[in-house]
């Protein structure tokens, strides 16, 4: 690596590291990664930044006069053709100075310009276009499962008494159950009677409804489940059946929806649906993700 | 630009950034280790550590993931440097392919994802390890210049005494970070495009594949390739999002994906020749298919249900 290459690579690394630190510091990271990974981003970002800045400031190993790089000698090419000293008899330890050799000893990897072009340009474009979440009107959110029915025969079991004992109610007596609970209830025939007709309050983000919505009186409320990053996200959603006189939240807003939980069959598949009584605004949580256990 | 294109660009950007942000610290960790190994690990050290018998050495290397657990992104720069420092390529392959599956973190996530099923966990780890070792043993019969890119060849004509100091180690790390980071970025771009613009696992085509074993297994391996999930989280996706698939194809998803996926092949290209990567892909595909069939018919009778934790407590 020449001094210029080291400096340019150092600059690219600094930008990568700076990007990680920026995402952590600005809080935007909470939209991309599960909370357990946040500190890793900060530590990784600082580490890359230090590594990069080190070579921006100190591009050559001045403390050593020896080769600081791999020195594979290639059979087929004269690797030292630009050196003016004799390398033909290489039985020595190679401890002589190489700083004067301006040639590139490696033929591995790409130069800094290619690296910058293929990493910094896509990153810049991505930074310009990302909305820090999947768009609620786009196709990707549907691919992640927004309109999918829950898997059948789930293994969680509880009774109405458990519900009474452990789930808080709002001022209107509606159970403040987790959206994921209501969702999975639709996948278990034993659980359905416990939830059917139950007054509940669900909290989540609002998306348009694409199922059973010919009359246009429906929206969908959803939450996201992840293990590591948004790429492994699974989205679960529940249909909101809204009477005409109820004021609707805007798409993508966080809301609490109160009403009665019901189940409906569409093409032989059972889906949960909330018959909405009303909406209340809700604050977006620090991290909207539910972590897979 | 119409609304659909705008949404796709926004979603693709989000997907790209989420994988890049998650993966980069692991790549950095891998390149940091590789830089220090390259500087401080004496050439020939592996000859002293590993058994002389190549087969035994490959078998032992496959277990290293249990001791040094690294994900599939971080392992590539490490083995790249280890190979340069004299680790036999077959041993490096065995470690590289097995480590993302045969490690405690993946074991635990598989165990949890499949409702505390030790059957699924041990089958996944066992076949992951076995396939890695088989591929490595086959590769051991190849000429080394058919496997490695010329820049990674192990053919120095003489010993060089490189300075063993911090600056040299950091310089190696920076060089590795730039090389691997570049290919990682290319792989992530491709993955983001595939996931947001091309593949939809909820389409009837993919769902219908679950109806038969062969179609399901092939389909799940292709999906694993396209979705490029981390080995630590793919078990949850397999358990929760593909409930209509039997256990064999789910295992194929969890074994093939950590070995070969859209982003990994670009990382592999920093070490291996493309022709060898093609061999690796085909071998992993066939062996995983066989493993999936054995698991489905002889080892695990039913797909354990996806777990649901205590859903009532807020």
Is residue B79 exposed (0-12), middle (13-18) or buried (19+ Cβ within 10 Å)? buried
Residue A266: count of CB within 10 angstroms of its CB:
12
Determine, for residues A127 and B8 on separate chains, whether the beta-carbon distance falls below 8 Å.
no
Cβ contacts of A43 on chain B, cutoff 8 Å: 25
Instruction: Please tell me which residue of chain A has the smallest CA distance to B270.
Output: A109
| Better pLDDT: A81 or A255 | A255
A218 forms beta bridges with A241
The residue behind tokens 């490189």 is B162
CA–CA distance, A14 with A17 (Å, rounded to integer): 5
Q: What does the pLDDT average to over B121-149?
A: 93
The rounded percent of chain B whose pLDDT value lies above 70 is: 91
pLDDT at residue B206 is higher than 50: yes
- As a whole number, mean pLDDT of residues B129-137 equals 96
Q: Could you write out the DSSP letters of every residue in B26-44? A: HHHHHHHHHHHHHHHSPTT
Q: Is the four-CA dihedral B225, B226, B230, B233 of positive or negative sign?
A: negative
Chain B closest CA to A68's CA: distance in Å? 5
Nearest CA in chain B to A10: B174
Encoded tokens for B3: 């609304």
Can you give the pLDDT at residue B89? 92
Task: Check: CB of residue A68 under 8 Å from CB of residue B170.
Answer: no
Total domain count, chain B: 1
Residues 6+ apart with CB under 8 A from A269: A149
3-state per-residue secondary structure call for B109-131: HHHHHCCCCHHHHHHHHHHHHHH
Q: Are A94 and B306 within 8 A, CB to CB?
A: no
What is the pLDDT averaged over residues B6-35?
A: 91
Gap between the Cα atoms of B295 and B248, Å rounded: 6
| Chain B residue whose CA is closest to A126 | B13
Largest Cα span, chain A? 92
Which of B149, B161, B178 is opposite residue A12, by nearest beta carbon?
Answer: B178
| Poorest-pLDDT segment among A51-60, A155-164, B19-28 | A155-164
| Chain-chain contact of A163 with B115 (C-beta, under 8 angstroms) | no
H helix runs in chain B, sequence order: 3-40, 45-49, 54-62, 64-67, 72-84, 89-98, 104-113, 118-139, 166-193, 204-209, 213-227, 234-241, 247-259, 262-268, 274-294
Alpha-carbon dihedral sign for residues B230, B250, B260, B292: positive
B110: nearest Cα among B247, B228, B261: B247
Residue A237 CA to residue A145 CA, distance in Å, equals: 8
Tell me which chain A residues have a C-beta less than 8 angstroms from the C-beta of B10: 129-131, 135, 138
- Rounded Cα distance, A202 and A220, in Å: 11
Q: Among A194-203, A265-274, B75-84, B150-159, where is mean pLDDT lowest?
A: B150-159
Residue B196 reports pLDDT greater than 70: yes
Cβ neighbors of A146 (< 8 A, separation 6 or more) are A207, A220, A222, A235, A236, A237
pLDDT value for A85: 40
Kindly state the tokens that stand for B70: 């690294």
Other residues' Cβ atoms within 10 Å of the Cβ of residue A39? 12
Three-state secondary structure call for residue A157:
coil
Distance CA A94, CA A85 (A): 12
Task: Output the average pLDDT for chain A.
Answer: 82
**The domain containing residue B55 runs over which residues?**
3-312
Rounded CA separation A221/A155 (Å): 24
Q: At what angle do helices B118-139 and B247-259 cross, to 10 degrees?
A: 40
Model pTM score? 0.80
Residue A261: strand pairing partners:
A274
Q: How many CA atoms lie within 13 A of B294 on its CB side?
A: 10
Percent of chain A with pLDDT over 70: 81
Residue A232 DSSP symbol: G
The SS3 assignment for B246 reads coil
Beta bridge partners of A229: A33
Count Cβ–Cβ pairs < 8 Å, chain A vs chain B: 284
User: Tokens 């340009």 label which residue?
Assistant: A121
Give the helix/strand (H/E) hosting A212: none
Query: pLDDT per residue over B250-286, tens digit each?
Result: 999 999 999 999 889 999 998 999 999 999 999 999 9
């Amino acid at each position: 690596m020449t001094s210029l290459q080291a400096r340019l690579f150092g600059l690219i690394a600094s930008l990568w590291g700076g990007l990680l630190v920026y995402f952590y510091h600005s809080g935007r990271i909470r939209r991309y990664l599960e909370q357990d990974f946040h500190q890793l981003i900060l530590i990784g970002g600082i580490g890359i930044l230090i590594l990069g800045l080190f070579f921006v400031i100190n591009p050559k190993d001045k403390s050593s006069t020896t080769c600081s790089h791999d020195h594979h000698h290639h059979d087929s090419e004269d690797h030292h053709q630009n050196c003016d000293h004799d390398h033909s008899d290489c039985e020595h330890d190679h401890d002589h100075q190489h700083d004067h050799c301006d040639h590139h000893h490696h033929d591995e990897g790409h130069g800094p310009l290619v690296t910058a072009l293929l990493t910094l340009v896509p990153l810049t474009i991505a930074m310009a276009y990302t909305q820090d979440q999947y768009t609620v009107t786009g196709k990707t959110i549907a691919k992640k499962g927004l309109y999918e029915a829950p898997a059948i025969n789930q293994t969680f079991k509880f009774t109405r008494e458990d519900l009474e004992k452990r789930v808080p109610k709002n001022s209107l007596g509606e159970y403040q159950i987790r959206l994921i609970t209501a969702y999975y209830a639709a996948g278990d025939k034993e659980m359905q009677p416990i939830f059917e007709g139950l007054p509940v309050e669900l909290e989540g983000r609002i998306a348009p409804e694409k199922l059973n919505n010919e009359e246009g009186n429906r929206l969908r409320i959803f939450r996201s489940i992840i293990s590591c990053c948004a790429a492994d996200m699974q989205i679960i959603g529940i249909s909101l059946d809204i009477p005409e006189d109820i004021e609707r939240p805007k798409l993508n807003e966080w809301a609490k929806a109160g009403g009665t939980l019901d189940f409906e069959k569409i093409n032989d598949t059972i889906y949960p649906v909330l018959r909405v009584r009303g909406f209340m605004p809700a604050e977006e949580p620090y991290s909207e993700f539910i972590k897979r256990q | 630009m119409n609304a659909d294109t705008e949404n796709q660009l926004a979603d693709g950007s989000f997907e790209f950034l989420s994988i890049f942000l998650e993966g980069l610290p692991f790549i950095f960790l891998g390149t940091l280790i590789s830089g220090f190994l390259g500087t401080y690990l004496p050439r020939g050290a592996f000859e002293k550590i590993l058994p002389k018998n190549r087969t035994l050495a490959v078998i032992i290397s496959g277990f290293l993931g249990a001791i040094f657990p690294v994900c599939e992104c971080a392992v590539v720069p490490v083995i790249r440097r280890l190979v340069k420092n004299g680790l036999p390529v077959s041993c490096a392959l065995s470690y590289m392919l097995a480590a993302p599956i045969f490690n405690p973190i993946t074991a635990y996530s598989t165990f949890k994802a499949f409702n505390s099923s030790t059957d699924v966990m041990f089958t996944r780890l066992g076949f992951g390890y076995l396939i890695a070792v088989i591929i490595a043993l086959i590769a051991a019969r190849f000429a080394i210049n058919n496997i490695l890119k010329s820049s990674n060849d192990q053919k120095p004509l003489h010993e060089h005494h490189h300075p063993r100091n911090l600056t040299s180690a950091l310089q190696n790390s920076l060089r590795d970070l730039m090389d691997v980071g570049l290919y990682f970025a290319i792989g992530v771009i491709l993955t983001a495009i595939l996931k947001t613009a091309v593949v939809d696992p909820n389409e009837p085509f993919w769902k219908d594949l679950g109806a038969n074993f062969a179609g399901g297994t092939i389909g799940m391996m292709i999906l694993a390739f396209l979705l490029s999930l981390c080995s630590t989280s793919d078990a949850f996706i397999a358990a929760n999002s593909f409930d209509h698939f039997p256990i064999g194809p789910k295992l194929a998803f969890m074994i093939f994906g950590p070995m070969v996926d859209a982003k990994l092949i670009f990382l592999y290209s920093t070490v291996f020749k493309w022709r060898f990567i093609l061999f690796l892909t085909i071998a992993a595909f066939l062996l995983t298919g066989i493993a999936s069939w054995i698991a489905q018919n002889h080892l695990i009778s039913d797909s354990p249900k996806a777990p649901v934790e205590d859903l009532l407590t807020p």
